[in-house]
Amino acid sequence: MRYLPPSTPPPPKLSKDGKFASGVTKTNPSFHLIIRGSKKNPAICRTIFTAMVLNYPPPTVLDLNEPITKDGKPEQGKWDKLLAIHSYLSKSTHMKDTDVILITDGNDTWFQLPPEVMLQRFHDLLKRNNDKLRWRYGSVSEKVAKNELKSTQRYSQRIIFAADKVCRPDRPYDASCFAVPYSNLPPDIYGPLTDTGKNVAQNRPRWLNSGSLIGLLGDVKRLYERAAEINSKNIMLGDEQEVLSRIFGEQEFTRELDRRLRRPNWYIRMGELFGILQRIDISRIFVKLAPGRRHEFAIGLDYKSQLFFSMSPHSQHNLEWLHYNNVSQLSSAQLRHGVPREARLNLPADIAKCENPFTPPHPLAEKIPPPYDASVDYLPSPQNESWHTLPLATDVHSTSIPALLHTNIAIPTNSDPKPKPDLDPDPLHLWWRHMWFHPWSRALLRKSLRALRSGGAEAWDMRGGQGGVWTGNDEWADWVSVCKGAEGLVFGNDGWGKWGEELGEDYLAG
């Protein structure tokens, strides 16, 4: 059935000035979360759980394994996931082109930090990266009135993808692998073998990972429109990783070509000589450039993993769960990883100023279902536990604490410079137990649901919705209908049984 919220509270402010980089002003700063996955896969409940306890907007779950529909009927053999995403973004009426949208995989993605941190970091990254793009590529002048010129930077960034240590698919002289910029992490971040090609695990993240992206809706729609167009001309449908990597590679190829044509040769030579501009060799890359076709899609990557961390077999060993009130643990982690430069592991200010996740709700909220019980709902005192004391997944080399973890299934490989013989046969199970919300997962979710139902939480998504997910058809499904039966996967063996039956009877049945 379609869920219609009784009222829509005002949206929260994204920032004090309400502005994004590149002059994009948001008068209605809505934030939307799309999870690609199936409600039938219980692993998606971990993603939904982390989004709910951190107060992300109610996610829309898009099942991309369902065939494309035409006139209400599925077309035989049409399983184009890129077209499905573009179709949903184009037909949705509750989203505006200036809204922020986060798209992520659903079966292996976990949120770690609140949405305020995610959005502010996105805002800051856009500003810094656009300043660099303006310096590197310059601006263009446009006549807006008689004797008046307006200067606009030639290229800008409004979409950010996760970065990866490997290029997929890896093809010789392919633009998606060889035309893209080098990582902006220090060139010795993994020691003397960094980027030498001798060990994939010591590559700096340089390549696009399609598992997670955040951007302005208008730009994301244009991106997926182009991706669907590419697939429509393919005999065999390309997957999302292949097509989006191609678009990013072509964008960077045309940018580099444009820079070489516009900048004087001495500028390029001197910049590369002094290391200001790292040379990208596009001489052996062939890209078919069609006149009038758009190749610029405002894409950039999160090289430092401030937004997204891709936990692949080549990068999982860079991650440690650290307590930021334990100085000896922080020091030993850096020593163990052999960080080759002076770097400090401190809790970032944007996390430190976040509300304590254990702050109790208003006393009246205890009367809102699920019924309060001192044992089931036990949470530590905010005086004893805070973001400083909780274990936070940290990229020790970049010193970043990512807002989101993309936990690609990892199998021990020879690329790990420090293999661990006692590695858990199910890495996802081990990592999940390390997350900061254990062992209070059930109590945190019950607290979150009470806060939502009492009106104590702000609405990011203007459709409303409390304690569940939307489908691609704008139908509402609550937590129970999606995740009852997945308690062991989400809460572990906490001893409280099925959701809603913690006190011996199903309060939901009444």
Specify if 370 maps to a domain: no
Specify if 73 maps to a domain: yes
Determine the Cα–Cα distance for residues 113 and 121; give it in Å rounded to an integer. Answer: 11
Of 491, 502, 474, 485, give the one whose Cα is nearest residue 435: 491
Burial class (CB in 10 A: 0-12, 13-18, 19+), 230: middle
pLDDT number for residue 238: 82
**Number of domains, the chain:** 1
Q: How far is CA 29 from CA 88, 124, 424, 462, in A?
A: 20, 16, 42, 10
Q: Which two tokens stand for residue 228?
A: 């669907």
Q: Alpha-carbon Rg of the chain, whole angstroms?
A: 24
Q: Which residue has the tokens 């209400």?
A: 72
Specify if 389 maps to a domain: no
Q: Per DSSP, what are the bridge partners of residue 468?
A: 478
Determine the Cα–Cα distance for residues 173 and 418; give it in Å rounded to an integer. Answer: 32
The backbone torsions φ and ψ at residue 48, rounded to the nearest 5 degrees and listed phi first, read: -65, -40
pLDDT number for residue 114: 97
pLDDT number for residue 14: 40
Q: pTM of this prediction?
A: 0.88
Determine the Cα–Cα distance for residues 106 and 62; give it in Å rounded to an integer. Answer: 9
Q: How many residues does the chain have?
A: 510
Specify if 111 maps to a domain: yes
DSSP conformation letters of 42-108: TTHHHHHHHHHHTTPPPPEEE-TTSPPEETTEEPTT---HHHHHHHHHHH-SS--TTSEEEEEESSS
Q: What is the DSSP letter of 469?
A: E
Contact partners, residue 259, CB within 8 Å, separation at least 6:
136, 137, 268
Determine the Cα–Cα distance for residues 196 and 203; give it in Å rounded to an integer. Answer: 8
Specify if 363 maps to a domain: no
Q: Where are the beta strands (DSSP E) in 154-229?
A: 159-164, 207-216
Of 28, 33, 1, give the one whose Cα is nearest residue 14: 28
Specify if 338 maps to a domain: no
Specify if 215 maps to a domain: yes
Q: Per DSSP, what are the bridge partners of residue 69?
A: 74
Q: Which two tokens stand for residue 164?
A: 């990866």
pLDDT number for residue 265: 57
End-to-end CA distance of the chain: 20
Q: Which two tokens stand for residue 462?
A: 């203007």
The per-residue pLDDT string of the chain (510 residues; one tens digit each, 9 = 90 and over) reads 333 333 333 333 344 433 444 444 444 558 999 999 988 889 999 999 999 999 999 999 998 776 555 555 555 445 688 999 999 999 999 999 999 999 999 888 999 999 999 999 999 999 999 999 988 888 888 776 677 777 889 999 999 999 999 999 888 889 999 999 999 999 999 999 999 988 999 999 999 999 999 999 999 999 999 999 999 888 777 889 999 999 999 999 999 998 888 765 566 667 767 766 677 888 889 888 888 899 999 999 999 999 999 988 889 899 999 999 999 999 999 999 988 657 789 999 999 999 999 998 766 566 677 888 999 999 999 999 999 999 999 999 999 999 999 987 644 444 454 545 444 557 888 899 999 999 999 999 999 988 876 554 455 666 777 789 999 988 999 999 999 999 999 999 899 999 989 887 766 655
Range of the domain at 444: 1-131+158-317+400-500
Query: Is cis: bond before 313, omega within 30 of 0?
Result: no
pLDDT number for residue 17: 39
Q: Does an H or E element contain 253, and which? A: helix 240-262
Distance of CA 437 to the CA centre of its chain: 19
Determine the Cα–Cα distance for residues 350 and 358; give it in Å rounded to an integer. Answer: 17
Specify if 308 maps to a domain: yes
